[in-house]
Amino acid sequence: MDDIDKKIVKELQNNARASLKNIAETAYLSSPAVSARIEKLEREKIITGYHAAVDSRKLGYHITAFVSLDVSSADKIRFYEDMESIPNVLECNCVTGEYSMLVKVAFPSTMELDLFIGQLQKYGKTSTQIVFSTPVGPRDMDVMAEIGEKE
Amino acid sequence: MDDIDKKIVKELQNNARASLKNIAETAYLSSPAVSARIEKLEREKIITGYHAAVDSRKLGYHITAFVSLDVSSADKIRFYEDMESIPNVLECNCVTGEYSMLVKVAFPSTMELDLFIGQLQKYGKTSTQIVFSTPVGPRDMDVMAEIGEKE
DNA sequence: TATTTTTTTATCGATGTCGTCCATTATTTC
DNA sequence: GAAATAATGGACGACATCGATAAAAAAATA
């Protein structure tokens, strides 16, 4: 993971559909070289995938929320399977603090969100924060930053 | 946004670097037709971008956290600019509840996270949840789901 | 409702660009 | 200095794009 790799990753973060030729130009490299480096980054699982970002509102998901809830260790495996199976769950994090889980979800309306939260009650008490707006991000991590002790 | 568009978006969510030819095959369409549809989806800002997903750990970001904090309306604009300028801020949400903001961040270690939280104190009281693990996601929204009243 | 007109959206074939492969050369690394 | 790794350049094949055309859908008129 040298500076050239970082430049390539940054380019792919900005535009995952960029052509090898274009990436090669910005990285001052030939396209076969870029191709080989990208394959290596994928093999090493530094790059884990390429995703189109979509406007959730325009897809009908008007409500985004973070649901905190307390899940006992015994229930966690079942809970994870549950979260995995519900497509509205965008992210499910195990966290420190009063609530053990923090789940990001998207629903068409508060009605569906309410139904979802109802389903969660069996696992423990919940606390929900509905998103008004997202002034920053979601955005990609800074690859170029100087960080000591990688991996 | 018909079923063909949905199929195309789904494909680009799974693999944003897929060739037009491949997308065309899965959508039972010609590549120029797919190209035109993708351009339209981009023009309408349904697709907002294409991003490479990277393993944060392998980039040296070992600590991910959600920081809640209370920011007064008067300070918000300044706060947003602040969050925008810090690359470690992956997501900054304005939410309901006791804390007005929910910020997702990534840092190399708890030390840098602590420094960041220190910087935030001037805006109001904070509460931090460090992520142990992310059993689900981050993943893409379900485009194929049947939702009434889009846009 | 039927028919025409307009608009939209598709396909096809041609052209130019792009990605990939191979052989060779350069650069590291030990 | 030898071995391994990584880059380049040219050739080939695949792919994306463009223009022309045709089909389908939508809108308008009778």
Asked if strand C contacts A20 at the CB level, meaning under 7 A, the answer is yes
Q: Please report residues of B whose CB lies closer than 8 A to that of A151.
A: 57-58, 60
Residue B10 forms part of a structural domain:
yes
Structural domain includes residue A110: yes
Tokens 């396209």 found at: A31
Q: Residue B127: in which H helix or E strand, if any?
A: strand B126-136
> B20 and B76 share a domain?
no
Cβ of B59 within 8 Å of Cβ of A46? The answer is yes
Per-residue pLDDT of chain B (151 residues; tens, 9 = 90+): 999 999 999 999 999 999 999 999 999 999 999 999 999 999 999 999 999 999 999 999 999 999 999 999 999 999 999 999 999 999 999 999 999 999 999 999 999 999 999 999 999 999 999 999 999 989 999 999 877 654 4
| Closest among B134, B113, B132 to B67, alpha carbons compared | B113
Across chain A, mean pLDDT equals: 95
Say if the Cβ atoms of A91 and B134 lie within 8 Å: yes
- Provide the CB-side half-sphere exposure for A29 (13 A, CA): 18
Query: In CATH, what number is assigned to the domain containing residue A7?
Result: 1.10.10
Strand D footprint nucleotides (protein C-beta < 7 Å): 6-10, 14-19
Co-location of B81 and B115 in the same domain? yes
The answer on pLDDT for A151 being more than 90 is no
Same domain, residue pair B68 and B125: yes
The secondary structure of chain A, three-state, reads: CCHHHHHHHHHHHHCCCCCHHHHHHHCCCCHHHHHHHHHHHHHCCCEEEEEEEECCHHHCCCEEEEEEECCCHHHHHHHHHHHHHCCCEEEEEEECCCCCEEEEEEECCHHHHHHHHHHHHHHCCEEEEEEEEEEECCCCCCCCCCCCCCC
Q: Which residues pair with B52 in a beta bridge?
A: A50
Instruction: Flag whether residue B77 sits within 8 Å of chain A, measured between CB atoms.
Output: no
Q: Determine the distance from the C-alpha atom of residue A4 to the mean position of all C-alpha atoms in its chain, rounded to a whole number.
A: 25
Cα-Cα-Cα-Cα dihedral of A45, A31, B16, B14, to 10°?
-40
The predicted pLDDT at position B151 comes to 47
Interchain contact, B53 vs A47, CB within 8 Å: yes
**Same domain? A106 vs A78:** yes
What CATH number is attached to the domain comprising B65?
Answer: 3.30.70.920
pLDDT at residue A114 greater than cutoff 70: yes
* pLDDT greater than 60 at residue A149: no
Q: Are residues A19 and A77 in the same domain?
A: no
CA–CA dist A63, B141 (Å, integer): 12
* Summary count for chain B: helices (H), strands (E): 5, 5
Whether residues B84 and A135 touch (CB distance < 8 A) is answered with yes
Residue B18 and residue B74 in one domain = no
Question: Any atom of strand C under 7 A from CB of A36?
Answer: no
Same domain, residue pair B34 and B12: yes
- Asked if the C-beta of B142 comes within 8 angstroms of chain A's C-beta atoms, the answer is yes
* Domains in chain B, number: 2
Q: Which pLDDT tens digit goes with each residue over A22-77?
A: 999 999 999 999 999 999 999 999 999 999 999 999 999 999 999 999 999 999 99
Give a yes or no: residue B15 inside a domain: yes
CB contact under 8 A, B135 and A17: no
Measured distance CA(A77)–CA(B136) in Å, rounded: 12
Chain A hits for B51, Cβ within 8 Å? 12-14, 16, 50-51, 53, 140
Instruction: Give the residue with minimal CA–C1' separation from D16.
Output: B20
What is the phi-psi region of residue A45: left when phi exceeds 0, alpha when psi lies from -120 to 50, beta otherwise?
left
Range of the domain at A72: 57-130
CB B121 within 8 A of CB B128: no
The span from the CA of B64 to the CA of B90, in Å, is 10
Looking at per-residue confidence, does A151 or B16 come out higher?
B16
Interface of A with B in 106-125 (CB under 8 A): 106, 108
A residues 2..61 contacting B (CB < 8 A): 9, 12-17, 44-61
Residue A99 lies in a domain: yes
Which pLDDT band holds residue A115 (cuts at 50, 70, 90)? Answer: very high
Domain-embedded: residue A126: yes
What separation, in Å, do the N-terminal and C-terminal C-alpha atoms of chain A show? 11
What are the tens digits of pLDDT across the range A29-38?
999 999 999 9
pLDDT-wise least confident of A13-22, A139-148, B25-34? A139-148
CA–CA dist B69, A34 (Å, integer) = 43
Q: What is the pLDDT of residue B101?
A: 97
In a domain, B50, yes or no: no
pLDDT of residue A21: 97
C-alpha distance from A73 to closest chain B C-alpha (Å): 13
